[in-house]
Structure 1
Amino acid sequence: MSSSADAEFFARLAELNDKFAASLPQTLGRLSAARNAFDPKRPPAALIEQMHAVLHTLAGSSATFGFRILGQQARMLEQRLRVLTTFDAVGPEEWEAWLSELDVFIAWGSVDPKAAYPNDESSV
């Protein structure tokens, strides 16, 4: 009976993995749309919150579904975003630097989110 339960568990997990993978293009698309609407001179709080929520969700769930590097990179972007939001004032150049990192993440994730991350020697 145990092996039957194990088989069911792993079948369900594989189904959830496939569902997560299928949802990635839409999730990354939401991040991309938010990024395109982002004004580094006047970043809207609602947009920052939306981006934070998407990154937080990716950071928390990616490794569970076999996307360890995606989760790690999402967590780093989320943490940097959180740091930026703690300051009273953030210059446009700092927002632009963060947005550039986000652009790399979205481009990479849209092609192969299980591949080595660009310029990441730790995953080589």
Structure 2
Amino acid sequence: MTGANDTDFFVRLTQANEDFRAGLPATLQRLGAAGADFDPATPAPALADDLQSLLHTLAGAAVTFGFRELGQGARALEQRLRVLTAFEHVGEDDWRAWLASLDDFVRSGLAAPAPAYHSAAFSLLP
């Protein structure tokens, strides 16, 4: 038997998923804009930190709301960024390659249709 609290939880979860999905284009555009501002010749640590934070948040939220591939892509970019920022000197070509991957990720995310959430998870809804 399903209680009112369970139903309320799934209603809130469904709304959170819809909010995430609706905000995804703006999040991806923000990520793309931050990448466009990143100068591989003189990488700004603060901008690298912002990119890492955006990717980390996106990766976690995407997986939480059933956007597995998006989350995995964001996590891979975040991990590669962590490696690059761990070194004192990183070649401009390495930064350019990472930025190209980021650009591909953003472009693909903006072009992809919104995936359906796992509807079986909401079987408790009336």
Report the TM range for the smaller structure's normalisation.
0.7 to 0.9
Q: Which runs of 5+ in 2 are unaligned?
A: 116-126
| Structure 1 stretches of at least 4 aligned residues deviating more than 6 Å after TM superposition | none
Match of 1:55 in 2: 55
Where relative contact order (Cα < 8 A, 6+ residues apart) is larger, the structure is 2
Contact 2:59/2:72, CA 8 A, preserved across alignment: yes
Q: With the length of structure 1 as denominator, give the TM-score of the two structures.
A: 0.86
**2:40 alignment counterpart:** 40
Q: TM-score, normalised to structure 2's length? A: 0.85
Check the 8 A contact 1:70/1:113 in 2, yes or no.
no
Q: Which has the larger radius of gyration?
A: 2
Deviations 1:42-65 (A, max 9, x none): 011111011000000011111111
Gaps of 5+ in 1: 116-124
Aligned length: 115
Percent of aligned positions that are identical: 52
Q: 1:43-94: per-residue Cα shift (whole Å, max 9, x none)?
A: 1111101100000001111111111111111000000000001111001000
**1:40/1:95 contact within 8 Å kept:** yes
- What per-residue deviation string (whole Å, max 9, x for no partner) do you get for residues 5-38 of structure 1? 3222211111000000111111111111111111
Distance 2:100 2:89 in 1: 19
